[in-house]
Structure 1
């Protein structure tokens, strides 16, 4: 089809030339502004000769002219439609419906499906989309101090809020509400936060008439626009849109009319994907388009840290991380749609996934699953075996690979390299070094100047690096912004304050730094942190990443024994515990008995013994705080492995952890749970000594009789518990301690109590490493298990055998 041409009317030619003169441009200048490679079309335009229609319109725009007023009258269908609209404004709605009908199938083909990473087939947008929450204040633009960000974030606590690293305390609005509120919207988001999916969903909703059905949705991937325009040598967004609709039989004249009337919903996806130098031209086109066709709705998506000048008239908002309700909604849709299961089967799998995701041992995985791209990975991994991988480092490595490589590869994006010497392996090594240094120093949030200095220190080690301080400063800032925008692994939480996107990634990279170090003393330095609670996950990851964990585990054991050897009273305690253990007749795993007595003596929970075993009974229960009844609830779970999966037991534990009984609402469950707790405590004593078991049974039955019957009134039981619960639990604790012959007044100082807790936690960590999916030889495993919680003298005797 021949391209349509237009020429300036003879009556308007003088007016056109005056407008050109007022600009003070040469013909070459005007050609550059329009994006032409030659000035010939400009000369023909100024001479009143025909030029291509799209060029004619753009030239008029540059000269501040109304092209319809200066052009020779149009002939044909398009002219008749425009004239009809001009004379009968109400007919624009009919024209919109006609164009929507012509364009409906194409927009459905463009936006109706999407490809999830590592999923072979395309997925329907409506079948996987979940409502997006929008932050109206960009997190990186907040004026906050580090002290503001760390409130409630305490990695040294027994159960700290890992999500505190990324928690944003501001109101959220639904995505479609934000679109309705702001006619020109810049939607920012971290990599994989769902920006493209959101724009496609808006387009499909409009296409179906369920959102702004009075407009025509037009979806443009800006990367494609920039590449096509560069190939043709002419950047014009309006012409590109006209070409999009022309394939559906919509003339350029009709497109122009619709745009002037504000009847388009323009969705421009992936501003950050446009490479330099095309980015400047694309921004200029968007600015001009939005100013000329200001009546239309425009939505642009872009990564949150991309370095672009602000577009006038646009409101910037940010896609928020997924909340628990969104994660649940996504998972249920994913396992039905992607899992190719029937809806009942898919929902059943989703419920199993969600139940396991909520477990305490999976909190690191749960922390990752707050963006759609990593939640998709989590669902995919779970779908393979119906379980999360025992070796978590593999999952985290896949997550990093997605953010660093696979996501851009899947979208055909090649990012601009801001620093030519920084290859992908160097970027990973840089991130690993930054993670280890900041984590070891206790920094979870760090000022921009701090992280730039760490980056500059690394850049100095590269070949052909710059030594000039100012050059290094600029290079380090460019690298920081590049890592933030391209990969999202470093995030600006407030103005010039950064953190890793997930604490899990900081921990994983820290572990990687130690296990891949060529320094033979690296592991020896590493184990100095074995008694620090915040290093727990790093040790578990490191053990799983090593080809052989013998050296690490033996160094950990030596360091733990050194902790015990540093205090004489602690050694006395271990000697006493060892003597008691040796006096027990029924014993297959002495370390479990030592752990039990150690817990009683120190008033700790029994989670160390939970990882060991007594006879055929396997221990498996969670860590709980420092007061007695939960201690023995865990004991019940240790004796009866099924208790850990029992709703009654879980409920009772929650109840006793909540002393005011405000959560009590299931009297039958409470009664059954208390009975099981008391019975299991007796069973444990019976396994050690039948005489003590009988004495303990009498004491516990007496205590049980003191409990008011919950069936006779819930409020009565609550009132009694608030008044007497503390005393009752202390009596229960005293009874169990007394009948297990473990009641000693050791009178530990506060410093010794701290040392005991450190020693206990370190042993618990060591046992968890042994029971993880790490590679350890049988001889090393056996030696560590045999010497757990033994005094130094006893260990020396075993070593000498």
Structure 2
């Protein structure tokens, strides 16, 4: 399409020159303001000679002139159309509808599909899009202390809330509601949070007439705009928009009229993808456009930590992490659309995926699935085999690769390097070092100056590094902001308070640091944490990442045995358990029997007391027990999976506490919860002796019948439990002990109880590592299994053979 030229009318020329003089600029100054590389068009404009139409309009804007009042009358098709609008009674809405019809196919082609990472074909936006939730308060701008963020986040608890790391306690609004509320919107989000998909969805909804049907959707990828404008040597957002619509037969004059009337929905995608030095010019163009054509709706997307000055008039909002309902909705759409299955088959696969994702053993994977890009990865991995990978480190490595490399490669983005010596391998090594140091120190949230110091310490080790403290401080801040904005692996949770984006990545990188260390004592240092619950995932990952896990597993076993060896009474307990186990005629692994008797010795009624905690009523239970029964039975089952345990037992204790969601009354929920606990003990007894199990069942059912009906009054039940609960649990304990031919009354001190719990947790971890997909020789596996839960003397005797 030929470019039209306009010139200042002879009557207005004097007025134009006076306006220029008032600014006090040179012609070069005015050229820079307009984005021109030469002053020649400015000279022609001031001389009353024709200049390109869009330059003419920009010059008038800078000089505070109304271009239509000073221009010679416009001739041609566009002018005639405008005159028709003005003089012949055409309404602007009619013109909007005509332009929408001309532009409809192009916007559908631009925004109707998207490419999911590692998916060969494009998928329809409508077929994969889920409603976006928006946070109206930017998380990184909150004035909070670390103590505020760690509330409820306790990694040492049995079942701590891993999502507490990223939980944001503020109301959410739907994405389209935010667009309706704010005419100029800056949508911020972490990498892969769905910013582009949201903008495309808004464009398609407008294109279909289901959202702001009175406007024309115009989608522009800012990276393309910057590159095209740079190639042409002239930045002008309005000209770029004119060219977009012009390719569909819409004249510049019509575009100008529509923009002045506020009839455009402008969607500017990926401000963070624009490279320096073009970013400054792009920001200038957006600012000028939004000020001049202020009646239009503008939405810009940008990564949340990108370093840009705020645009005047724009409201900043943030895309929230996916909630469980959104994860479910996305997964069902994914397996139908991407899996190329029939809707019933796709939904069936999605339901299997969601069921497995909710299992306790998959909580680390579930933590990753709160962003669309990583949820897409988990769906893709599951679709391959119908299972999640047994070696989780491979999945986490793929997740890091997506955030660090593949996402930008797929979009053709080359980021600016803020620190020339920091290559991608160095960035990974830096993140690994930061993860290991902060995790070992127990830091899940850390202040900005703390993490900058860790980054500066690493930068000092690089060739040609700076030694000046102020230079290092500035470099470390630049690197921190770069990692945050480009990869999203470090996230500012509140003002100057950071954490890793996912606890899973912090654990994975920590394990990677120990495994990759050239220090031969690294694994010995790692096993010092074998008794700490929060290190569990690090050990599981490390054993899976090692080419041979023999040495680490042996070190873990030695450390665990040393825990028990530190107390003679604990050794006496293990000797007694071993003696009792040898008397049992059981063809399966003796270690499983030792684990069961270990549970009897340490009492089990704490689990039942927890199960009986009824909703809002606060009970005071006996303080005798210190171990929940299911934990020991889980260890026994982990050692020997053939002992007849119920696979669903992991959910038993949660059931009663969550009874409101189940729709059952108190009696039904209590019956089911108690039956789970009792059945678990009976199942194990059945594995040992069927007659013994029948006798035990009769005894337990008699005890169960003594419990009052909670539906006849919670206060009555509470009173009964406070008076009789101690006796009832002792009778229950005695019944299980009697029918398993065991009798223990050890009277452990609190310190010994803590040591026994630590010993149990460490043994359970060791068994889980053995059962994972790690590389371990048969000899090492056999020796560890044979010596589990044995006293030191028995282990030393076996070692001497």
Q: Same fold (TM over 0.5)?
A: yes
Distance in 2 between residues matched to 1:582 and 1:67, nearest whole Å = 100
By how many angstroms is 1:50 displaced?
A: 1.1
**Cα 1:380/1:514, change in 2 over 3 Å:** same
SS in 2 for 1:89: coil
Distance in 2 between residues matched to 1:446 and 1:355, nearest whole Å = 35
Q: Are 1:230 and 2:235 matched, yes or no?
A: no
**Structure 1: any 5+ residue segments left out of the alignment?**
none
By how many angstroms is 1:64 displaced?
A: 1.3
Shifted more, 744-753 versus 325-334: the winner is 744-753
Partners of 1:591 and 1:612 within 8 A in 2: no
Distance in 2 between residues matched to 1:325 and 1:734, nearest whole Å = 45
**Cα 1:639/1:309, change in 2 over 3 Å:** closer
Partners of 1:596 and 1:609 within 8 A in 2: no
**Cα 1:621/1:530, change in 2 over 3 Å:** farther
Deviations 1:76-124 (A, max 9, x none): 2211222233347761010000000000000000000000000000010
**Structure 2: any 5+ residue segments left out of the alignment?**
none
**Cα 1:83/1:323, change in 2 over 3 Å:** same
Partners of 2:596 and 2:636 within 8 A in 1: no
By how many angstroms is 1:56 displaced?
A: 1.2
Partners of 1:339 and 1:346 within 8 A in 2: yes
By how many angstroms is 1:696 displaced?
A: 2.9
Shifted more, 721-730 versus 199-208: the winner is 721-730
SS in 1 for 2:548: coil
**Cα 1:691/1:63, change in 2 over 3 Å:** closer
SS in 2 for 1:557: helix
SS in 2 for 1:789: coil
Partners of 2:665 and 2:711 within 8 A in 1: no
Deviations 1:390-424 (A, max 9, x none): 00000000000000000000000000000000000
**Cα 1:624/1:231, change in 2 over 3 Å:** farther
By how many angstroms is 1:684 displaced?
A: 3.3
Deviations 1:214-249 (A, max 9, x none): 000000100000000000000000000000000000
Partners of 1:639 and 1:680 within 8 A in 2: no
**Cα 1:84/1:486, change in 2 over 3 Å:** same
Question: 2:761 — aligned with what?
Answer: 761
Distance in 2 between residues matched to 1:298 and 1:490, nearest whole Å = 29
Deviations 1:179-237 (A, max 9, x none): 00100000000000000000000000000111100000000100000000000000000
Distance in 2 between residues matched to 1:412 and 1:662, nearest whole Å = 49
Distance in 2 between residues matched to 1:53 and 1:166, nearest whole Å = 51
Deviations 1:621-669 (A, max 9, x none): 9999956675799799899979999799677543456799997439778
Deviations 1:574-603 (A, max 9, x none): 111111111112243110011111111113
**Cα 1:364/1:631, change in 2 over 3 Å:** closer
Partners of 1:636 and 1:676 within 8 A in 2: no
Deviations 1:724-773 (A, max 9, x none): 77764553233102332333221211111111111110000000000000
Partners of 1:661 and 1:722 within 8 A in 2: no
Deviations 1:17-58 (A, max 9, x none): 111111122222222222222222111111111111111111
Deviations 1:537-592 (A, max 9, x none): 00000000001000000000011111111111111111111111111122431100
Distance in 2 between residues matched to 1:640 and 1:774, nearest whole Å = 18
Distance in 1 between residues matched to 2:704 and 2:190, nearest whole Å = 55
Partners of 1:678 and 1:700 within 8 A in 2: yes
Question: 2:482 — aligned with what?
Answer: 482
**Cα 1:393/1:618, change in 2 over 3 Å:** farther
Distance in 2 between residues matched to 1:51 and 1:527, nearest whole Å = 76
Partners of 1:431 and 1:509 within 8 A in 2: yes
By how many angstroms is 1:706 displaced?
A: 3.5
**Cα 1:784/1:236, change in 2 over 3 Å:** same
Distance in 2 between residues matched to 1:219 and 1:443, nearest whole Å = 43
Counting only pairs closer than 5 Å after superposition, residues 593-608 of structure 1 correspond to structure 2 as 593-603=593-603
Distance in 2 between residues matched to 1:94 and 1:247, nearest whole Å = 20
**Cα 1:673/1:150, change in 2 over 3 Å:** closer
**Cα 1:157/1:789, change in 2 over 3 Å:** same
SS in 1 for 2:91: helix
**Cα 1:697/1:411, change in 2 over 3 Å:** closer
Partners of 1:667 and 1:714 within 8 A in 2: no
Partners of 2:589 and 2:639 within 8 A in 1: no
When the two chains are superposed, the root-mean-square deviation of aligned CA atoms in Å is 5.1
Partners of 1:605 and 1:623 within 8 A in 2: no
**Cα 1:375/1:564, change in 2 over 3 Å:** same
**Cα 1:567/1:635, change in 2 over 3 Å:** closer
**Cα 1:616/1:684, change in 2 over 3 Å:** farther
Partners of 1:604 and 1:631 within 8 A in 2: no
Question: 1:731 — aligned with what?
Answer: 731
Distance in 2 between residues matched to 1:661 and 1:410, nearest whole Å = 43
Shifted more, 556-565 versus 55-64: the winner is 55-64
Shifted more, 497-506 versus 679-688: the winner is 679-688
Shifted more, 263-272 versus 693-702: the winner is 693-702
Shifted more, 25-34 versus 678-687: the winner is 678-687
SS in 2 for 1:607: helix
**Cα 1:36/1:475, change in 2 over 3 Å:** same
**Cα 1:469/1:619, change in 2 over 3 Å:** same
Distance in 2 between residues matched to 1:749 and 1:200, nearest whole Å = 64
**Cα 1:614/1:223, change in 2 over 3 Å:** closer
Shifted more, 580-589 versus 448-457: the winner is 580-589
TM-score normalised by the chain length of structure 2: 0.93
By how many angstroms is 1:2 displaced?
A: 2.9
Partners of 1:130 and 1:330 within 8 A in 2: yes
Partners of 1:549 and 1:776 within 8 A in 2: yes
Q: Are 1:109 and 2:109 matched, yes or no?
A: yes
**Cα 1:680/1:393, change in 2 over 3 Å:** closer
Distance in 2 between residues matched to 1:19 and 1:99, nearest whole Å = 35
Question: 1:264 — aligned with what?
Answer: 264
Q: Are 1:42 and 2:42 matched, yes or no?
A: yes
Deviations 1:696-721 (A, max 9, x none): 34423422444679999999999988
**Cα 1:669/1:23, change in 2 over 3 Å:** closer
Deviations 1:499-519 (A, max 9, x none): 000000000000000000000
Partners of 2:609 and 2:621 within 8 A in 1: no
Question: 1:298 — aligned with what?
Answer: 298
**Cα 1:110/1:318, change in 2 over 3 Å:** same
**Cα 1:773/1:617, change in 2 over 3 Å:** farther
SS in 1 for 2:399: helix
Distance in 1 between residues matched to 2:266 and 2:89, nearest whole Å = 22
Deviations 1:414-441 (A, max 9, x none): 0000000000000000000000000000
Shifted more, 605-614 versus 361-370: the winner is 605-614
Partners of 2:592 and 2:636 within 8 A in 1: no
Partners of 1:336 and 1:343 within 8 A in 2: yes
**Cα 1:52/1:688, change in 2 over 3 Å:** closer
Deviations 1:156-198 (A, max 9, x none): 0000000000000001000001000100000000000000000
Question: 1:15 — aligned with what?
Answer: 15
TM-score normalised by the chain length of structure 1: 0.93
SS in 1 for 2:90: helix
Partners of 2:439 and 2:506 within 8 A in 1: yes
Shifted more, 41-50 versus 183-192: the winner is 41-50
Shifted more, 90-99 versus 694-703: the winner is 694-703
Distance in 1 between residues matched to 2:256 and 2:656, nearest whole Å = 70
**Cα 1:727/1:655, change in 2 over 3 Å:** farther
